[in-house]
Amino acid sequence: MAQVKRIRRNVSGIILLDKPLGFTSNAALQKVRWLLNAEKAGHTGSLDPLATGVLPLCFGEATKFSQYLLDSDKGYETLMQLGKTTTTADAEGEVLQTRPVTVGRADIEAVLPAFRGDISQIPPMYSALKRDGQPLYKLARAGEVVEREPRSVTIARLELLACEGDTARLAVDCTKGTYIRTLVEDIGEKLGCGAYVAQLRRTQAGPFTLAQTVTLEELEAVHAEGGNEAVDRFLMPSDSGLLDWPLLQFSEHSSFYWLHGQPVRAPDAPKFGMVRVQDHEGRFIGIGEVSEDGRIAPRRLIRSE
């Protein structure tokens, strides 16, 4: 008997998932996509299986704006295990070296200023960065180590929350592309005892915080009671990650031409930069950029919300 192809729904919006421990970001995405029966889906930056916390999942038209969440600042809390280093710089790797821990709160506080502000990081071998089309983590698993270019990142906040025995808990606010595993490993070397990430929780992604998230268990419970449509109640508008952008509302005339790819003028437009755009009925219809002549050029469009 031929298998009946599942007809997926055209739903749009963002679900803020509290990613569970042990899931890859893609596995979590596919699970929620199944619960929604959504046609199109994407996530906004990977979290390691070891990590939990804020993972914005984009569906339908919202996937057009996922890049702006990828580029946004992030916040984390991490538990740093002192005295050991591992192959992956986290608890999932094999222990490479064990050293005595003779440092305390004052010692940790003393080294943290060196890691605040603009710093340089060498990405870990166990990362999704690619070399000649191959992810570095695949090369690492094969025992290969290749040279990686340092990258500049900014640590806006680095605070010691707690210190007990051979562990320390840190809060980190940082720019995109920051590797918390590398940060912890580098702090451990500065302390002279080594360290790895024992726990990692993302507390913020762009404008989104843990307080706004929903768990996979909550989504499954709602789905069990009401099916795919019941899960829709957790969908936030497609422009939820862009609420700090200037908002323009076009007339019916301007909306028509703008949605057909034509730049238009708006009397209340800023002099430069990116803007969110609504039509005359208040529906989000895309994002635009103010050009030199003052017109709003369409950059990403949606037909309806």
pLDDT of 233-244, one tens digit each? 999 999 999 999
Q: What's the start-to-end Cα distance of the chain, in Å?
A: 39
Cα 181 to Cα 48, 51, 76, 192, distances in angstroms: 10, 11, 11, 17
Q: What pLDDT score was predicted for residue 43?
A: 84
Low-confidence ranges of the chain (pLDDT < 50): 305
pLDDT of residue 41: 93
**Rounded Cα distance, 65 and 100, in Å:** 48
Sign of the Cα pseudo-torsion (131, 136, 139, 144, in order): positive
- Residue 48 a catalytic site member: yes
The answer, as to whether pTM is greater than 0.85, is yes
Euclidean distance between CA atoms 35 and 52, whole angstroms: 20
Q: Exactly one of 48, 90, 239, 279 is catalytic; which is it? A: 48
Output the pLDDT for position 305.
47
Listed in sequence order, the residues at least 6 apart from 118 whose beta carbon sits closer than 8 Å to its beta carbon are 152, 153, 154
List phi, psi (to 5°) of 230: -65, -30
- Cα–Cα distances in angstroms (integers) from residue 36 to residues 8, 79, 227, in the given order: 9, 34, 8
Spatial separation of the C-alpha atoms in residues 133 and 75, rounded to whole Å: 30
Are the C-beta atoms of residues 297 and 289 closer than 8 Å to each other? Answer: yes
Single out the residue of 297, 206, 295 nearest to residue 259, CA to CA: 297
Residue type, position 159, single letter: E
